[in-house]
Structure 1
Amino acid sequence: MTITAEQRRARILEVVRELGSVRVVDLAERVGSAPVTVRRDIAALADGGLLRRSHGTVSLPLDDSPSSAATDRNRVIGMLVPTVGPYFDEVIDGARTAATASGARLVLGITSYEAAHDRAQVAQLLDAGLDGLLLTPNWRPDGEVGDSTWVRELPVPAVLVERIAPPDSAAAQLDSVGSDHAHGVLLALRHLLALGHESVLLAARKDSWTARQVRAGYAEAVRLLGIEPWPVIDVGRPGLESESVASRIAEAVAHDGVRAVLVHNDREAIQLSPLLRARGLRLPDDLALISYDDVFAALAAPPLTAVAPPKRAVGAAALQLMLRRLEAGPDLPVHHVRLLPELKVRSSCGGRGTDKAA
């Protein structure tokens, strides 16, 4: 019988919990899977903070213990996300894997990027008998969160996921786990400067929370690096306005001497590549391009260098923080956790195209 990756990883965690520390080769034999497959699973679980790797052996994180694992069993954790798509698919997968490893059950709710739908979906999730809630509210891209008092009045603890509450909002006192997108933009610009580029364009969406963080990160990065800022090229609906975006990039290359661009997100970056080529711009010879998200970037032609937010690790860390909150209650200080993205260097920006983190 073929088992899923989720079932195999849950079995790996069971064996490690039983033995405490185990060699990878022995673990593969116990799980009944090829060592190369088990090593990939171990890497994913370690990235999510669920395992520790050291010199060919695997063990539990230092703060994991049988007593805490027993407490977490039968917990029901709700998770509300604004959409199911490639980005949040990975966040959900990280939370699901962490829940399975802890014996908790994850219950998913989905809204449609409309703030008015949040409360109705949360109410429906609460009917499932939740112990806690992982919440990604539909806050406006301009940073306006509206009335967040209802979030503070929930009957169960809540952890914000991929959201940063303004300091003056009621939600600021909630735990939160998210990607540090400003750091991701800074990584991209530093890499392009190291390749000899003196300025970098940004072409970005403006209709999502992540897009706002990327835009703010660009403004901060050019200030920190002391390079010339350029007006952001607005990316509208992917595929419908890509021709206009490609024309504006080509114009900046022809008239302003710009040779590097950061594009949010992968879908737009992949669609731009042939449009830029039609305008005489080849990647990376004429233009260095870095994508932001790293969902599909490696599948492009050429493969795109990309900023990779730690999506699965965010989901896992949020679930683990929720379980800690349920265990400790108000004695645990409020946590605002920011995980750093990586830069996956491929061939679209020249230099070292090895598909490794930089």
Structure 2
Amino acid sequence: MTDHTPRSPLAAERRAHVLAELASEGAVRISELIEDLGVAPVTLRRDLAQMEDEGLLVRVHGGAVPAEGRAMTPPSPAVVAAPRETATVAVLVPSLNYYWPAVVRGLEAEARHHGLRVLLRGASYELQDERPVLQRLVDSEKISGLIVAPNTDTPHAQDVVEWLADSGIPFVLVERDAVTLADGEPVESTTTDHALGAVLAARHLAGLGHKRVGLVLSRNSPTSRKIADGWHRACEDLKLKPSRHVETLVPDRLSPDFTSEVNAVLDSMMAAGITGLLVHSDPEAMAVVDLALNRGIKVPDDLSIIAYDDEVAQLFTPSLTAISPPRASVGRSAVELLAHRITNPDRPVHRVMLSPQLIVRESTAAPRV
């Protein structure tokens, strides 16, 4: 997908325009600069504040004038008029219809802020090796950077990371662990702390008074392992012994075995006296609620349920308490990391981890005594 949004001038171009206007007119007005440059007022005010700190101008109501005693020389026409070539960032994510659209919206917004063009491609969770797709992207046009969410549980996972490193193109992994290269060098990445999300869910259930809790995970999701790690840690911290909590993997919801396996999960959990569940992801959680209600199990009176992802959890009835990853912020962070890497290739590797939130809604309550 190509971003056809008109490019806003980069900071250097805005600066040159302001200096040229000060030199020719003796003053600038924010309203006119906004119209000339097509940027937000907050951007213009930030630019003027920085230039004032540098002694280039003095801000006045509605605009700015040259600093006292400073002769304003118009920048050369080449500096003012020469537009920069728009750099292109290629993005490869495993899906464009669930979870990832919000990540993409965040990274596209941040890319516009940095004057970057986005070339978007969607792969699939079944793809075993992203290298051919990445090679086509690199061959199709000049790429200044890559943002990639490769499948990590495949035989070629390390090969993909090595290919990215050998390409010579700056890259950032998004929602993937900061794996290391063969020589032990870390890889730049931005991720959600999904283990923390599971901890937040377990603490919420325990805080409501639930003693016997369960975890239902999507069998094919790379996120499931991280959720399970946090869940195990939380259950230990909260003194929920292994005999008092249950963990189950279920197949993809499109599988013909999904309904029968979820019903089997409900059977085992009701037999174990489970009163609270964390289910990954939203569609699986909604299916669990539907099947529970069909069996006369009331939510949340008999069974409290927390969904993990918060993609559509708020639309369900009852609205689902959910763990909400900061998807848009993850996208923005990935672009910010990449933009800094492009302009400063020698800076230390950054690995950013963002925290999810617990959103309490109607599907959780204290267990009935």
The answer as to whether partners of 1:91 and 1:315 remain within 8 angstroms in 2 is: yes
Which residue, out of 203, 207, 213, partners 1:194?
207
Kindly name which structure, 1 or 2, has the bigger radius of gyration based on alpha carbons: 2
Give deviations 1:122-170, integer Å, cap 9, x for gaps: 11221321111101112217x9834332121122111010000445656
1:260 is the counterpart of 2:272? no
| Change in CA separation of 1:320 and 1:166 when aligned onto 2, cut-off 3 Å | closer
Q: What TM-score comes out, normalization by structure 1 length?
A: 0.75
- Paired amino acid for 2:169: V
Give deviations 1:26-72, integer Å, cap 9, x for gaps: xxxxxxxxxxxxxxxxxxxxxxxxxxxxxxxxxxxxxxxxxxxx999
- Paired amino acid for 1:302: P
Q: What is the 5 A alignment of 1:1-358? A: 14-20=40-46, 74-127=86-139, 128-140=141-153, 145-147=157-159, 148-167=161-180, 169=182, 173-229=186-242, 230-239=245-254, 240-330=256-346, 332-350=347-365
Secondary structure (helix, strand or coil) at the match of 1:314 reads helix
Q: CA shift at 1:121, angstroms?
A: 1.2
Q: CA shift at 1:117, angstroms?
A: 4.2
CA–CA separation in structure 2 for the residues paired with 1:219 and 1:102:
41
Secondary structure (helix, strand or coil) at the match of 1:313 reads helix
- Paired amino acid for 1:110: G
CA–CA separation in structure 2 for the residues paired with 1:197 and 1:320:
41
The answer as to whether partners of 2:95 and 2:122 remain within 8 angstroms in 1 is: yes
| Change in CA separation of 1:196 and 1:180 when aligned onto 2, cut-off 3 Å | same
The answer as to whether partners of 2:196 and 2:356 remain within 8 angstroms in 1 is: yes
Secondary structure (helix, strand or coil) at the match of 1:243 reads helix
- Paired amino acid for 1:122: L
CA–CA separation in structure 1 for the residues paired with 2:264 and 2:297:
12
Q: CA shift at 1:245, angstroms?
A: 4.0
Q: List alignment gaps of at least 5 residues for structure 1.
A: 1-5, 22-69, 352-358
CA–CA separation in structure 1 for the residues paired with 2:83 and 2:349:
21
Q: CA shift at 1:116, angstroms?
A: 4.3
Secondary structure (helix, strand or coil) at the match of 2:153 reads coil
Give deviations 1:200-220, integer Å, cap 9, x for gaps: 100111212112222222222
Q: List alignment gaps of at least 5 residues for structure 2.
A: 10-33, 48-81
Number of residue equivalences = 296
Q: Report sequence identity in percent.
A: 33
